[in-house]
A and B are shown apart, each in its own frame.
Chain A
Amino acid sequence: MGALAGVRPRAVRSFRLDRRYLPVLGTLVVLVLMLAVGGGRYDGFVSGRVISNLFLNNAHLVVLAVGMTFVILTGGIDLSVGAVVALSGIVAAVSFQAGLPAAVVIPLVVLVGSVIGLLVGVMVHVFGVQPFVASLAAMFLARGLCYVLAPESVPIRDESFVALSSWSVQFGDGWRVTSAVVIALVTLAVAVWVLQRTRFGRTVYAIGGGEQSARLMGLPVARTTVLVYVVSGTCAGIGGLLFAMYSRSGYSLTGVGMELDAIAAVVIGGTLLTGGTGFVAGSLLGVLVLGLIQTIITFEGTLSSWWTRIVIGALVLVFVVLQRGLMGRRTT
């Protein structure tokens, strides 16, 4: 039997490994392509100011997409984030109105998100409710609470909060970084680290690869599943804070449909909704793509309401089709 010994090493393996990064690379390539086309078409499109604005305007969405990536990697989905953004914004505005100091309000606002996330996580894991429904219920809950707290938009005039939100560093020609952008990028960095370098992060991927298998592998599936929603909720809380900083107000109708933007960003960034594959960095690129589409629309400057929608739809389409083309056909 000696002659039969040995599993032969397989050929061309390193190539396969790269494939995991292909979707993200695809997104990056198409993003650059769009920037180039935009730059050729509009004056001042590729400028420090416009690119800074891209980050400025979408800081909250970056954070949401980061949280959403965790959830989607486990094969779940979180529809509550848009409503949580509204809720935490309102909580911020109302508590400032009540005279609470920023040092109390800011943690409180983030905590609101975590608690709702925990609620979703418990429903999903302990009670086996489907993530879509559990988070939809949380969305209704958060929206309902919004109206209860304040149906009208409430301005935030707290001085330290205003100071925090208007802090920014200018450099070069129009380049600008605000506190919101810093917070978003720090969140992103932490998320990358957690997903790639901690047991929790790798367990998230393993659950996405197959929950039953993960359980039989002896991984803490229960804790991880609940935590993932807490992460997403917390990110939504932070997102709400950033949005409150962005608009300096809280309003119950904020963020309607924002969850779809976040999901779209994650998916455009190359993460599969079935779970298990994807990267946070991809989600950042996804957000930038959506922001860029919006920027192109405003630069175009002549579109009527309906053409705006059609063009957004078309651009998203062009984007995913190009990305798909770059990735090549996968045999499913």
Chain B
Amino acid sequence: MHDNEAVVELRGITVEFPGVRALDGVDLTLRRGEVHALMGENGAGKSTLIKALTGVYTPTSGRVVVAGSPVAFTGPADAQASGVSTVYQEVNLAPNLTVAENIMLGNEPRRFGAIDVRAMRRRAAELLARLDVHVDPASSLGAHSLAVQQLVAICRALVVDCKVLVLDEPTSSLDAGEVEKLFTVMRTLRDDGVAILFVSHFLEQIYAISDRMTILRNGRLVGEYRTADLPRRELVHLMIGSSFEDLEKLGDAPRREQAAADGAEPLFQAVALGRKGSIRPFDLDVHAGEVVGLAGLLGSGRTELSRLLTGTDRADAGKVLLDGRPVRLATPRAALRRKIAYSSEDRKAEGLVGDLTVRENIVLALQADRGWLRRLPARTVDEIVDRYIAALDIRPANPAALVRNLSGGNQQKVLLARWLATAPRLLVLDEPTRGIDVGAKAEIQRLVAQLAADGMAVVFVSAELEEVLRLSHRVAVLRDRVKVGELVNSDDVHLGDVVDLIASGEAS
């Protein structure tokens, strides 16, 4: 642990948006050769601080010092030119271009003024290999899952030799293997003297990688600490302001024994359901009051499976039975009418309607289901919205705020509120805890358990296997877009068993 010289100093940064003071006099010091974690709850101001550093937002007051001299970056391009590379929260790439282009755009190798496509692909492939991502650099980015896109965004930041690397929740859609690889790269960079600013809601990751951390709460600085000196419970306490014991109680959500008796009819049955080029036909039963987890590697087809269950993609094989009767789920609308809801993993593109308010986003599905003629009375809307804002602790608790302006985690909560408001019988949650802070994550887990206890059927997808195991009664395992097996969860099923199943493809 070396107390090197400061590369970036932020002093007294205040950022205001119309009606919101997102940051209030925050300081941050980033030193050469350290990994510095930026901690805080959803909406604490982490992303805003990063954007203030890189010139996306202009601070109302405060100053930014990079390498000893005060700067006011005009934007990411400017920041990058001064050696500050950033991966922003939410993937910000061009889905219409190839993977290689997304990595190299702006830094392409050129010959006689023209981009040297071959060299560009080669260089991109090298960077991808560094993170052990095996995708064709010539394929178009939009065809890849969010995880791959996230990795590509990281590659992009590594293209130039940077003095400062800023990573805003790069791991939220990665699984453990990817995270490990990212950490290896980060350590190498750190040892080369790069200063890394890192945001994550996974405490284990923070303790595994960071040397020092800065904690924010409600847009204010709580303090700067050495990671080694700060026990977890202390950290959580500083972040949230409440004690760790309260949290642990939440986190230890009751895991019920097998809910549905074996003889009971499943609420929902997928029989040989499949779609060419997407996922091979599979069977899946979900009982009322049951949480079925989906486990698998990135790209194993969990999302594809979820989409077929909910009519989001149209199946070209097999059938779906609801209460034992065959139903056709041709569109999400048809599914919703039968009280089947799907919360997509890509909340920016497929979840939220950014320019609508929190209120409108929450009631959207409910209203769509009622039809346009039967408008929800304003009072009902207020009731619903207030209830969910309180229940999920959405911040700011302002129903009239544009969802676009909410922090990532709070956006996720709004999305969740939308589906809960429709009171579904089957709720398919694809990565519902992505980008959510510890407190809220525990809250959501507790909520899922509670919903199941109240009789809802839940399909739960998460890149975090522990979470899946903790919550589900049964776990379906996927590999290479094939459902390879199913595990009935109990206290003596361990993480290793699932990993083995994923690796071997044989049920234990």
Q: Assess A/B contact in the complex (Cβ within 8 A).
A: yes
Stretch with Cβ within 8 A of B (4 or more), from A28-36, A120-128, A150-158, A204-212:
A204-212
* Those 9 A-B pairs whose CB atoms lie nearest each other, nearest first: A209-B94, A276-B96, A5-B177, A218-B77, A218-B76, A213-B92, A4-B177, A197-B114, A206-B94
Measured in the bound complex, the distance between the Cα atoms of B467 and A288 in whole Å is 59
Q: Hey, which chain A residues are within 8 Å of B98, CB to CB?
A: 17
Residues of B within 8 A of A220 (CB): 77
28 pairs across A/B with beta carbons < 8 Å? A1-B180, A5-B132, A5-B177, A7-B148, A7-B298, A7-B299, A8-B300, A8-B480, A10-B139, A14-B139, A17-B140, A193-B114, A197-B114, A202-B97, A205-B96, A206-B94, A206-B97, A206-B101, A208-B94, A209-B96, A213-B94, A216-B56, A216-B76, A217-B76, A217-B106, A276-B94, A276-B96, A331-B313
- Is A99 in the interface zone, CB < 8 Å from B? no
Please tell me if the beta carbons of A14 and B136 are within 8 angstroms of each other in the complex: yes
Tell me the bound Cα distance from A206 to B144 in angstroms: 17
Smallest distance from the beta carbon of B467 to chain A beta carbons, Å? 15
A168 close to B (CB within 8 Å) = no
Beta-carbon contacts under 8 Å, B113-152 to A: 113-115, 117, 132-136, 138-140, 143-144, 147-148, 151
Contact B176 A210, beta carbon cutoff 8 Å: no
Is B488 in the interface zone, CB < 8 Å from A?
A: no
Once the chains bind, are B88 and A199 in contact (CB under 8 Å)? Answer: no
Q: B135 to A10, Cβ gap below 8 A? A: yes
A4 to B133, CA, bound (A): 13
Q: Which residues of A contact B110 (CB under 8 A)?
A: 199
Contact A4 B96 (CB under 8 A): no
B381 within 8 A of A: no
Q: For residue A213, which residues in chain B have a CB less than 8 angstroms away from its CB?
A: 92-94
Q: How far is the CB of B118 from chain A (nearest CB, A)?
A: 12
Chain B residues within 8 Å of A, Cβ to Cβ: 56, 75-77, 79-80, 86, 88, 92-98, 101-102, 105-106, 108, 110, 113-115, 117, 132-136, 138-140, 143-144, 147-148, 151, 156, 175-178, 180-181, 277, 297-300, 313, 480-481, 499-500, 502-503
Which residues of A pack against B, CB within 8 Å? 1-14, 16-17, 20, 193, 197-199, 202-203, 205-206, 208-210, 212-220, 276-277, 331
Chain B nearest Cβ from A275, distance in angstroms: 8
- With a CB–CB cut-off of 8 A, which chain B residues contact A13? 135-136, 139, 143
Q: Which residues does chain A contribute within 8 Å of B80, judged by CB atoms?
A: 218
Complex: chain A residue closest to B139, CB-CB: A13
A202:B114 contact, CB within 8 angstroms: no
| B114 in contact with A203 (CB, 8 Å) | no
Q: Is A208 within 8 A of B96, CB to CB?
A: yes
A2 to B180, CA, bound (A): 9
B101 surroundings in chain A (CB, below 8 A): 202, 206
Q: Which of B75, B92, B114, B144 is close to A210, meaning CB atoms less than 8 Å apart?
A: B92
Q: Which residue of chain B has the shortest Cβ distance to A210 in the bound complex?
A: B94
Residues B94 and A218 in contact, CB atoms below 8 Å apart = no
CB proximity of B55 to chain A, nearest CB, Å: 10
Which among B106, B144, B180, B481 is the interface contact of A199 at CB below 8 angstroms? B106
Q: Is the CB of B108 within 8 A of A202?
A: yes
Residues of A within 8 A of B77 (CB): 218-220
Query: A217 and B133: CB pair below 8 A?
Result: no
Judge whether A216 and B88 touch: CB under 8 Å: yes
CA distance A208 to B101 in the complex (A): 14
Contact assessment for A198 and B132 in the assembled complex, using a CB-CB cutoff below 8 Å: no
**Residues of A with C-beta under 8 A to B156:** 217
Within the assembled complex, what's the spacing in Å between the Cα atoms of A13 and B132? 18
Assess the B96–A6 pair: CB atoms within 8 A: no
Select B97's contact among A10, A12, A198, A205, beta carbons within 8 Å. Answer: A205
Residues of A within 8 A of B56 (CB): 215-216
Q: Which residues of B contact A1 (CB under 8 A)?
A: 176-177, 180, 499
Contact of B115 among A7, A199, A214, A219 (CB under 8 A): A199
Q: Which residues of A contact B299 (CB under 8 A)?
A: 7-8, 10
Q: Give CA–CA (A1, B176) in the complex, Å.
A: 7
On whether the beta carbons of B114 and A7 are closer than 8 Å, the reply is: no
Q: How long is the Cα–Cα vector from A247 to B88 in the complex, in angstroms?
A: 54
Cβ contacts under 8 Å, A10 to chain B: 135, 139, 143-144, 299
Give, as a whole number of angstroms, the nearest-CB distance from A229 to chain B: 20
A287 to B2, CA, bound (A): 66
- Beyond A4-B175, A209-B97, 18 additional contacts (C-beta under 8 Å) are A3-B503, A5-B180, A5-B181, A8-B480, A10-B299, A199-B115, A202-B101, A209-B95, A210-B94, A215-B75, A216-B56, A216-B88, A217-B76, A217-B92, A218-B75, A218-B106, A276-B94, A276-B96
A208 CA to B105 CA in the complex, in Å?
14
Shortest CB-to-CB span from A212 to chain B, Å, is: 7
Chain A residue numbers with a CB within 8 Å of B143 are 10, 13, 16
| Cross-chain contact A6 with B177 (CB below 8 angstroms) | yes
A186–B299 Cα distance when bound, in Å, is 45
Residue of A nearest to B174 (CB): A7
- Taking a contact as CB atoms under 8 Å apart, the answer to whether A6 and B114 are in contact is no
Q: State how many angstroms separate the Cβ of A198 from the closest Cβ of chain B.
A: 6
A5→B181 CA distance, assembly (Å) = 8
- A3, B140: Cα distance in complex, Å: 28
Closest to B95 in A: A209
Residues of A with C-beta under 8 A to B181: 5
* Chain A residues, Cβ within 8 Å of B297: 4, 6-8
B75, B86, B108: residue with the most chain A Cβ atoms closer than 10 Å: B75
What is the CA–CA distance of A213 and B313 in the complex, to the nearest angstrom?
27
Is A198 a contact of B115 with CB atoms below 8 Å?
yes
A7-B135 contact in complex given A209-B97, A215-B76, C-beta closer than 8 Å: yes
A71 to B22, CA, bound (A): 36
Q: Could you say which of B133, B147, B151, B499 contacts A3, with CB atoms under 8 Å apart?
A: B499
Using CB atoms, name the residue of chain A closest to B314: A331
Distance of A215 Cα from B295 Cα, bound (Å): 36
Q: Given known contacts A215-B75, A218-B75, is B138 in contact with A17 (CB within 8 Å)?
A: yes
Closest to A8 in B: B299
**Chain A residue contacts of B93, Cβ below 8 A:** 209, 213, 217
Q: In the assembled complex, how far is the CB of residue B469 from the closest CB belonging to chain A, in whole angstroms?
A: 14
Shortest Cβ gap from B433 to chain A (Å)? 18
Contact residue among B113, B140, B480 (Cβ-Cβ distance under 8 Å from A16): B140
